[in-house]
Structure 1
């Protein structure tokens, strides 16, 4: 059952009416017309989402995340644990996999699918050992000549005292450096939230793809509002000003491609979402495979220098 967001209340009411009518008069002209009206309302609503509403969609609890996307996109996924220094951070998971017969390295943030999972994966907020694990996996990919695909979905790196004590800022910087230094193709996909340096540490890529209703920003809208207006309640205004949406970021040159979602968001059709991302990844991997290691590194560096 779909969980409706606050701005979807009219859609929820109409969907319930459709369900009630289908139970008593399925196949009638009235039921068909009401279903068409509900579909049109859903399409119209999602065609004019505000930046704040897109932020809510990006955080939707039923949105397909790392586990579901990896299962749909890749075969033979073999996770690799640990940073060989401190421990194994469950907020970042990665390993070897096959994409349409091509060996790749997959790395991504994991938020968890339910409450126990979110606690286990710390809501996708990695500690230093998570980024050091990512560095280790990128170095392995470089050694074996494997393209790297990262799935970015985090509110930001974990801000706790223990993370800072173990060198959070240094780990994020080193992970970003590792991305930029790879001699193999690197494709990053912003699948939900791309928050701050915790996202960039896996997204300093040759190609940055972004789901239509994902968001990508230096700070969360609530965090920005708390600084500027001393109130997280001003989050919607901050989201508008920050240009966090895929459309805005494509115009600004921060990302390379938008992966459009099914009508009503990825959470309404995970299978179709996987198909669309598969097509985008195939095209980008094919294009990047023709480039030399020096060309790949230079392209990444020039792209991110231009952003500065």
Structure 2
């Protein structure tokens, strides 16, 4: 397990607990009481730390290397029923954007999301979760397929942004994202969107227009990352913590601003501490959202979705 800076007190206590248990096993000394005291202190410390997380600390948790990624969620939700679909039928298959058909119980879904890598090799293979235009065009192709067969769409957002390279711009990155946003508002099938990690800029919004939009507890969703915001405003990354607070990018902030429909609770310490519990919460949320949407006609779906986004940012004096 890797620990973030603010988690170091937890690391120390967990190491103490491991030593205590080891002494108990390897000697005749009864360490039960000592171990229980350390466990109690560990739980108390965890609760104190994770109850008072700053916006920047939540950003750090959303990027935790042990945090489950899109394919981890899909494999847990759909298991052996998941069939990945490839290519945009124009340029190539973008490895940073994954999608395909799968079932939760008896209900089919079209799963689409950004996928990051687990090590240097897979991070390069997945382009660090940053999609090229063909990734967004592949996502749109799969959404249109889902619409044709009346299959609900589930999109999982986890990207530091769309790929900003020259070749991406040459192939129409801005147009691809804008086209997705337009087409998703008009899609005649339910769309359920969940931010499972980083929700950065138009790169996330390119698959993020949903009838129901949720964020996991330790994720963020913003037009710009705290580091980039800091470098623009202060000409330095040193103010990233201040930028994170100012951007109001946490799930709580987004719910307060009525930009999302709900927050998915994570296990104490984050989704990586208890993956199965996190997957179950996501599954419950998807099924609950689908239950609320499944009886709406295509016309009602589109009308409600249009109104939802048209009302964002409207303030009455």
5 Å-filtered alignment, 1:210-221, equals 210-221=215-226
Larger Rg belongs to: 2
5 Å-filtered alignment, 1:27-46, equals 28-46=32-50
Find the aligned partners of 1:90 and 1:307 in 2 and give their Cα distance.
32
Q: How many residue pairs end up in the alignment?
A: 307
The equivalent residue for 1:88 is: 93
The equivalent residue for 2:14 is: 15
TM-score, normalization: structure 1? 0.98
Of 110, 114, 131, which aligns to 1:109?
114
5 Å-filtered alignment, 1:1-308, equals 2-25=1-24, 28-75=32-79, 76-308=81-313
Find the aligned partners of 1:225 and 1:101 in 2 and give their Cα distance.
47
SS in 2 for 1:107: strand
Find the aligned partners of 2:82 and 2:93 in 1 and give their Cα distance.
18
Contact 1:175 1:201 in 2 (8 A): yes
Contact 1:212 1:246 in 2 (8 A): yes
Find the aligned partners of 1:161 and 1:233 in 2 and give their Cα distance.
28
Q: Which runs of 5+ in 1 are unaligned?
A: none
Find the aligned partners of 1:129 and 1:13 in 2 and give their Cα distance.
46
SS in 2 for 1:307: coil
User: How far off its partner does 1:114 sit?
Assistant: 2.0
SS in 1 for 2:218: coil
Find the aligned partners of 1:20 and 1:3 in 2 and give their Cα distance.
18
List, as ranges, runs of 4+ consecutive aligned residues in structure 1 with deviation greater than 2 Å: none
Q: Which runs of 5+ in 2 are unaligned?
A: 26-30
Contact 1:138 1:178 in 2 (8 A): no
TM-score, normalization: structure 2? 0.95
